[in-house]
């Protein structure tokens, strides 16, 4: 603070009527931060930094266990079998990025980032772990039925994700849940290859066509249950089932009183969006009884809300639902299944807290034990046969298996002048008397070590100068000098390095829509260089022309993220990144892809599926597909890329094809336009071997492969790859 006082007082700033503003040399001494001792900083800098330090800094062991860790090279690895993963089976994410992004000429796949890496082995392990947790709880508590889960396809409707779940879940009759007609068609098709006992739970609001499809599925020998969301749906089910001569299996969704107070609990409780009240349930029972179909009522469904924070709340809801279940049994329904819905949460921030939407205070085993105990308690008290327990745990199943990887292209830091660069006489020259008073007050606040007052007077000074600038009485050079002085005040008072802005090759609206829409925070971590100390803090700014296209909130309540500098990137022992800096967003396998839009016409990322293998790099790329091209996203908005290209081609012929002897230039121009429609909308990173100026009349191509392709385009835009060993 004394240095700041010197900075402001050096010009002897005084209100009108006081002594002269300054005398003699106006150079200023260097600032000394006043919030931390130099000795502490020296000790911190001398400490050896290891991957373990990074793991603790980014809480990787908290949110990532048992699927993610940091290896000795400082790279994040995937542990595909969870706790059963052996050391040689860990998959290095940086090696995946290299394999995927390297040109085909050197054995890569030639895909562009951003990139979604799917790990089906993790998906299988999540299913097996959930099943094992319930089986263990059932055995330990002497429960006399079994667990049979379903996957709600709304969490991630990707074909290969759903097909993998059906395949991995077949040994334990794992089924699917649909909430719309296209989801029902998807589920019907996939379950034709699944376990015949697997449940197909039909949720959501329904019309006659939806109910027809659900009844048709039952006629096709699929174990379909139509869950009534509205009272009126029962009449449609009765009418259409009779026309099709199909005996339906019906469930009702109960609107419980139990709810949790977080964001995800807003759809539960008495005034929730979904389900039937007790009055409506009784009317449905009466309607089915009058139609001779009460035996068709076999399932009770409820949903407290996603991310249930504690087992205490979970048990309260299950006990209430089990009581309704037992009453339906008493009323004569042939009840067999209690569907506890979703709500099995995951720990996004590693805090193991029950007081946040970002975390939960339990694990899989505690969750399963709480459910089994609550159902058994009510049923034993009522002397009712234990029902099959079903859950719709989508988030907990798919979140871990998908990693979004993107690149930081550049970084900008606030430019704060040094004290000896502040030209005080020049600043004071054009200031109004009120502004000079602000300078005097700023000086006095600095002398008294009044941090908050320094901020107030600095801001007031800045605002007065802005008004003078708008009035034309202050030049842009003086305004910039005042801005620099105020930034210097902020830096010295705060005594901390301001956060840099890292510009990332990503659309947050497309790839992380939950962040901007509901403030959902995901763990974001550099996937390499974790054997180096992160020397700066930063926020992330995406490619879109939108002020919301930034990430400035991170796990742990942080407003910036520890990051490495981009200068000299790839140093240390975590090489292999070719001078690039890659970040990963984790636990985003649920909802992000289906909710993402095409803001600014940025489409989705490239996608690869990776399985553990015994090859030299411990993985094999089993499936790969490039992200949507510019033409693809234009089609989404009803444009016709082929016609657009023809328009531009004719325009090029009209304005660029008239010069004789430059036919090659015109052909290259048209070829470049054509390839732009086939390329992804994202930026291509500059590197020693890319963005090279080819000797082609001044045209630039991303690399030599693109140049050759522009001359002789032979690759199909729909080209994909299958089972490529790394």
Known catalytic residues?
545
Q: Is 134 left (phi over 0), alpha (psi -120 to 50) or beta?
A: alpha
Instruction: Give, for 312, the enclosing helix (H) or strand (E).
Output: helix 311-330
CA–CA distance, 665 with 669 (Å, rounded to integer): 6
CA–CA distance, 369 with 391 (Å, rounded to integer): 13
Given a contact cutoff of 8 angstroms between Cβ atoms, the answer to whether 82 and 66 are in contact is yes
Single out the residue of 526, 486, 518, 522 nearest to residue 502, CA to CA: 526
Residue 433: CB atoms within 10 A of its CB come to: 9
Given a contact cutoff of 8 angstroms between Cβ atoms, the answer to whether 309 and 351 are in contact is no
Contact partners, residue 726, CB within 8 Å, separation at least 6: 95, 96, 99, 613, 615, 616, 617, 619, 620, 621
DSSP helix/strand/coil, 466? helix
Q: What share of residues in the chain are helix, strand, coil (percent, to 5)?
A: 45, 15, 40
CA–CA distance, 303 with 265 (Å, rounded to integer): 9
Question: 78: burial class by Cβ within 10 Å (0-12, 13-18, 19+)?
Answer: buried
DSSP string, 18-34: SS-S--S----PPP--S
Given a contact cutoff of 8 angstroms between Cβ atoms, the answer to whether 670 and 652 are in contact is yes
Tokens found for residue 72: 């000795």
Helix ranges (H only) for 2-119 are 2-9, 38-46, 51-57, 60-63, 93-101
Bridge-based pairing state of the strands 402-412 and 388-390:
unpaired
CA–CA distance, 169 with 196 (Å, rounded to integer): 12
CA–CA distance, 557 with 710 (Å, rounded to integer): 48
What phi, psi does 328 have (nearest 5°)?
-65, -35
What residue ranges in 98-195 does DSSP mark as E strands?
115-118, 150-152, 175-178
């Amino acid at each position: 603070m004394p240095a700041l006082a010197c900075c402001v007082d050096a010009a002897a700033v005084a209100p009108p009527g006081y002594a002269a503003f300054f005398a003699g040399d106006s150079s200023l001494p260097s600032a000394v931060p006043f919030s931390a001792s130099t000795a502490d900083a020296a000790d911190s800098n001398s400490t050896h930094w290891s991957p373990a330090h990074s793991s603790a800094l980014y809480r990787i062991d908290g949110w990532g266990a048992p699927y993610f860790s940091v290896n000795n090279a400082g790279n994040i690895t995937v542990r595909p079998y969870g706790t059963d993963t052996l050391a040689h089976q860990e998959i290095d994410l940086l090696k995946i990025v290299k394999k995927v992004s390297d040109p085909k000429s050197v054995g890569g796949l030639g895909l562009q980032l951003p990139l979604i890496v799917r790990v089906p082995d993790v998906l299988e392990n999540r299913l097996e772990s959930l099943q094992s947790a319930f089986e263990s709880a059932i055995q330990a508590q002497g429960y006399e039925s079994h667990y049979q889960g379903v996957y709600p396809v709304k969490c991630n409707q990707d074909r290969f994700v759903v097909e993998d779940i059906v395949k991995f879940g077949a040994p334990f009759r794992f089924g699917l849940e649909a909430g719309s007609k296209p989801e029902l068609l998807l589920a019907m098709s996939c379950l034709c290859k699944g376990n015949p006992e697997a449940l197909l739970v039909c949720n959501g609001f329904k019309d006659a066509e939806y109910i027809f499809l659900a009844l048709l599925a039952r006629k096709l020998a699929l174990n379909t249950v139509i869950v009534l969301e509205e009272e009126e749906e029962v009449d449609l089910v009765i009418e259409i089932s009779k026309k099709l001569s199909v005996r339906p299996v019906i469930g009702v969704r109960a609107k419980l009183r139990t709810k949790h107070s977080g964001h995800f609990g807003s759809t539960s409780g008495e005034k929730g969006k979904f389900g039937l009240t007790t009055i409506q349930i009784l009317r449905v029972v009466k309607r089915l009884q009058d139609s001779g179909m009460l035996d068709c009522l076999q399932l009770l469904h409820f949903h407290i809300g996603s991310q249930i924070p504690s087992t205490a709340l979970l048990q309260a809801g299950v006990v209430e639902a089990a009581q309704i279940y037992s009453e339906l049994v008493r009323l004569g329904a042939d009840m067999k299944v209690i569907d506890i819905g979703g709500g099995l949460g995951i720990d996004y921030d590693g805090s193991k807290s029950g007081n946040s939407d970002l975390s939960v205070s339990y694990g899989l085993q505690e969750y399963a034990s709480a459910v089994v105990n609550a159902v058994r308690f009510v049923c034993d008290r009522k002397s009712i046969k234990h029902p099959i327990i079903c859950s719709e745990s989508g988030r907990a199943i798919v979140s871990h298996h998908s990693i979004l990887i993107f690149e930081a292209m550049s970084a900008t830091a606030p430019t704060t002048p040094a004290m000896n660069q502040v030209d005080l006489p020049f600043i004071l020259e054009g200031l109004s008397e009120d502004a000079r008073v602000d300078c005097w007050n700023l000086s006095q606040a600095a002398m008294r070590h009044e941090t908050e007052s320094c901020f107030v007077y600095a801001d007031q000074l800045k605002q007065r100068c802005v008004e003078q600038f708008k009035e034309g009485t202050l030049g842009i050079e003086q305004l910039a000098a005042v801005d620099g002085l105020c930034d210097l005040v902020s830096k010295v008072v705060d005594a901390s390095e301001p956060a840099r802005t890292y510009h990332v090759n990503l659309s947050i609206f497309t790839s992380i829509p939950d962040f901007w829409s509901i403030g959902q925070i995901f763990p974001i971590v550099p996937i390499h260089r974790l054997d180096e100390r992160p020397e700066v803090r930063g926020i992330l700014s995406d490619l879109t022309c939108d002020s919301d296209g930034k990430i400035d909130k991170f796990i742990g309540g942080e407003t910036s993220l520890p990051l490495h500098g981009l200068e000299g990137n790839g140093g240390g022992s975590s090489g292999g990144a070719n001078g690039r800096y890659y970040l990963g967003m984790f636990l985003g396998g649920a909802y992000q892809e289906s909710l993402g839009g095409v803001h600014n016409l940025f489409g989705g990322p490239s996608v690869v599926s990776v399985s553990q293998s015994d090859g030299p790099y411990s993985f094999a790329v089993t499936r790969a597909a490039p992200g949507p091209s510019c033409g693809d996203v234009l089609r989404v908005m009803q444009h016709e890329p082929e016609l657009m290209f023809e328009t531009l081609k004719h325009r090029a012929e009209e304005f660029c094809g008239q010069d004789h002897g430059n036919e090659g230039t015109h052909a290259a121009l048209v070829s470049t336009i054509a390839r732009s429609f086939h390329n992804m909308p994202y930026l291509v990173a500059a590197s020693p071997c890319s963005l090279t100026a080819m000797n082609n009349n001044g045209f630039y191509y991303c690399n030599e492969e693109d140049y050759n392709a522009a001359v002789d385009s032979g690759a199909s835009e729909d080209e994909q790859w299958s089972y490529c060993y790394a």
